[in-house]
Chains A and B, each alone.
Chain A
């Protein structure tokens, strides 16, 4: 059953890409949205919506990182840091930790703002770096942030993290233990994020990002303030993961530093590479495919193996499996499953 959700969503996004007519595309997406909204009426399986909400959180993360890596071309290998900042914002301000019990909805905004602020703080020292050097420094930030949360034991609970986070409530009704309310929140945030991402892409700022991605010096000749434009990419990209972090923390009712390790950053970058960097439907598909593999296919493979009397944990091989998927993509479709026009040209017509 869970496969049906993923496969339909992936099929609709890929199918829509092939439609030439913009209106037909919109109708298709509205239909998908409506179907997803109605799904919990017919299907009351909490576990299903738990996986779907997790998938949605990764879609949000992929959309956010796509702004930094896909649009502006700044390879960020420490994106999970902003996810952690979002999650810890909720954990510290809506839990017994400081006896602060700020409302979930307010914290969504606050966390997005915090993450954006840290996007600027961490982005500023990297402005003169490009390519490999930028990747290394951002990787470092990605390591430092969970380390800080781990060691500020007094405030963050150290390695144990913070538990017993408040359940969000909506007009006085608590979300409780169910996963369906989170699923709805995630759907709404994705709709918002997709809308926002498209508008950014087509904005003046979006064009400036494409320009610095292609040729930073030429972009400066055009009168683009590359400093401001890059910081905007870091800030806006980070704000998406701030939102994702809040929902993630609230749903799990727990945060701890090991949830935001380097693997998470790698996973999100892999989603972009797989789906098609820079292309919004592409990164959505990339996120869905990898979550499907990670959260559905691998656990199921474990069960099958167990019934066959084998004791293997395929979860241990997930990096091997991502690696195999990425190598296959690089060999057969290096621009990703659903590439943007520029990316396609980049890889198929050698630059002049």
Chain B
């Protein structure tokens, strides 16, 4: 079935080279409206590059279609306007600005005051911790709070598809749990999610489907449960012994 109108994303035969070195080789994947799709793989497998290509931040060959529109000729700011939010790798909050200023920058593409207020209400409802810290400078937040801010900031532009690049990176296990349950709840309230992770178990538990990348190429794809149960995937790419999963 083809994705219904809105937030469907289709990546077709996308290749990216950095100065002669192929970082991505003919990647094809799709995210359908309302899904959570996990993109897994070890360091250097091309996960971040895939997201950057989708956001228009690196040049690529192939085709990426979002909501029926070809993105290849679009600038990064136009892609945000089309409804693709991207919380970057390593959080990259504006550490010298306050939490509120960070969120306002997230709403940079939104012109309507009313819509900004609505989005802010949505974000603080999603992350009550941020509401307590709105006037605090972002650099003083804990790692988990910064991740919440990075996600909150990406949500401010009302994305229909939200891309998250390793939201669990460097966080304590208990915070990781919180972040993943929030991701699930954001999805349940209508935002399609493409999740890049190294923490494969956690990601596949909330994902509808997943893709596994290895050195720039797609190796496996399937439903979250199927990938979790696939011993080859678990052994080779998820870095966990099979016993631990069960």
Contact = CB atoms under 8 A, between A and B. Distances in A.
Given A223-B157, A224-B108, A211 B94 contact: yes
B88 interface: yes
Contacts of B108: 204, 207-208, 211, 222-224
B146 to A, nearest CB: 8
Given A211-B105, A217-B88, A222 B157 contact: yes
B85 to A, nearest CB: 9
Given A345-B139, A349-B139, A352-B139, A223 B109 contact: yes
B92 A224 contact: no
Contact of B105 (A217, A222, A346, A349): A222
Interface residues of A, number: 22
A215 B93 CA distance: 8
Given A207-B101, A345-B139, A351-B139, A222 B106 contact: yes
Interface string A208-226: 1011001101111111110
Interface in B119-146: 137, 139-140, 146
B95 A218 contact: no
Overall SS of chain A's interface: helix
A174 interface: no
B86 interface: yes
A128 to B, nearest CB: 14
Given A214-B97, A215-B94, A342-B96, A207 B77 contact: no
Nearest to A349: B139
A222 B76 CA distance: 9
Contact of B77 (A210, A225, A345): A225
B153 interface: yes
Contacts of B109: 222-223
B80 interface: yes
Contacts of A207: 101, 104-105, 108
Contacts of B140: 349
B96 A223 contact: no
Contact of A210 (B81, B97, B146, B157): B97
Contacts of A345: 96, 137, 139
Contacts of A349: 139-140
Interface in A222-272: 222-225
Interface in B27-77: 55, 57, 75-77
Nearest to B156: A222
Contacts of A210: 94, 97, 101
B77 A220 contact: yes
Nearest to A350: B139
Nearest to A342: B96
B137 to A, nearest CB: 6
A313 B178 CA distance: 70
Interface string A172-200: 00000000000000000000000000000
Given A208-B108, A211-B105, A224-B108, A218 B92 contact: yes
Nearest to A343: B96
B76 A218 contact: no
Interface in A312-352: 342, 345-346, 349, 351-352
B69 to A, nearest CB: 16
Given A204-B108, A215-B92, A225 B157 contact: no
B123 to A, nearest CB: 14
A331 B77 CA distance: 41
A23 to B, nearest CB: 21
Contact of A225 (B75, B86, B94): B75
Nearest to A223: B80
Contacts of B87: 221
A286 to B, nearest CB: 21
Interface string A98-113: 0000000000000000
B57 A351 contact: no
Interface of B: 55, 57, 75-77, 79-81, 86-88, 92-97, 101, 104-106, 108-109, 137, 139-140, 146, 153-154, 157
19 contacts: A210-B97, A214-B96, A215-B92, A218-B92, A218-B94, A219-B105, A220-B77, A221-B57, A221-B76, A221-B88, A222-B105, A222-B106, A222-B153, A223-B109, A224-B77, A345-B137, A346-B96, A351-B96, A351-B139
Q: Which 4 A-B pairs have the closest CB atoms?
A: A223-B80, A218-B92, A223-B109, A225-B77
